Amino acid sequence: MKLSGKVAVVTGAASGMGKAIAQLFAAEGAKIVVSDHNIDNASLVVNEITSAGGVAFAVAANVAKEVDVQHLIDSTVAEYGTLDILINNAGIMDNFVPAGDLTDELWERVFAVNTTGPMRTIRKSLPIFLEKNSGVIVNIASAGGLYGSRAGAAYTAAKHAVVGLTKNVGFQYAPKGIRCNAIAPGGVATNISTSINAPNAFGMERAMVGMQINPRTGSAEEIAKVALFLASDDSSFVNGTVVTADAGWTAY
């Protein structure tokens, strides 16, 4: 088992990529904290993990709220004694809203979840990692964090910021035994589309231009395998970078 004895927090783990990551990590021997704002669905994931012989418990957390982030990490340490792996997966879309139609409220909401949330979980986890000179952070960025129009302006900017945060943390804390990498998924079949409500027609039209060259849609399980590589010692020399997982879409 690649993660035997490790403790992993996965945010946004009640469904989609987060759920797949939590399940795979548990199968590889990690003790899992299934974190999500939807505690009912998070509890269902815990039941699936424990029924398969894994170890997990659920914590209700909205990563846009500092008090929830504090509670998440504190609960992890209280239950398992430590933290080894942090997976920042929670995220929302932005209705493909272009800059000209963007409101402060939408900008701030998308950044609060997609960028400030990961910053807060990292900030709270670092003292634990520093104390033992060991820790792994994997941020779920996006092809939208590498290119200009895979979503609206807020999502694009927020995911670009996640990429920058990843590189900064990875380099600065490398001498302390801490690694921080990101995954940039392309089109993946998850339920993140449920966070899209009345998409902006112009923005969506511009964002969809490149869909015709997308080789295929990926699965949550395929992204989970990349996360496992980055979270395990198999990637011990990989730090401060972004792994693109998109079937070659952005290679065009």
Residues with catalytic roles: 155
Domain that holds residue 81: 7-251
Query: 2 lies in a domain?
Result: no
The DSSP secondary-structure symbol of 234 reads: G
At residue 163, φ and ψ (nearest 5 deg) are -60, -45
pLDDT of 54: 98
Query: 1 lies in a domain?
Result: no
Domain total for the chain? 1
Integer Cα distance of 158 and 170 in angstroms: 18
The DSSP secondary-structure symbol of 115 reads: I
Query: 65 lies in a domain?
Result: yes
Q: Widest CA span of the chain, in angstroms?
A: 51
Q: Between 104-111 and 153-172, two packed helices, what is the crossing angle to 10 degrees?
A: 30
pLDDT digits (tens, 9 = 90+) for 85-107: 999 999 999 999 999 999 999 99
Query: 180 lies in a domain?
Result: yes
**CATH number of the CATH domain containing 71:** 3.40.50.720
Nearest in space to 89 (alpha carbons), one of 145, 155, 13:
13
pLDDT of 48: 98
**pLDDT tens for the chain, residues 1 to 252:** 999 999 999 999 999 999 999 999 999 999 999 999 999 999 999 999 999 999 999 999 999 999 999 999 999 999 999 999 999 999 999 999 999 999 999 999 999 999 999 999 999 999 999 999 999 999 999 999 999 999 999 999 999 999 999 999 999 999 999 999 999 999 998 876 666 778 999 999 999 898 889 999 999 999 999 999 999 999 999 999 999 999 999 999
- List the structure tokens of 45: 């994931």
Query: 225 lies in a domain?
Result: yes
- List the structure tokens of 210: 């490149």
pLDDT of 158: 98
Number of alpha carbons in the 13 Å side-chain half-sphere of residue 189: 6
pLDDT of 197: 79
At residue 40, φ and ψ (nearest 5 deg) are -65, -50
Whether residue 155 contacts residue 192, with contact meaning beta carbons closer than 8 Å, is answered with no
Where do we find the tokens 């879309």?
93
pTM value is 0.96
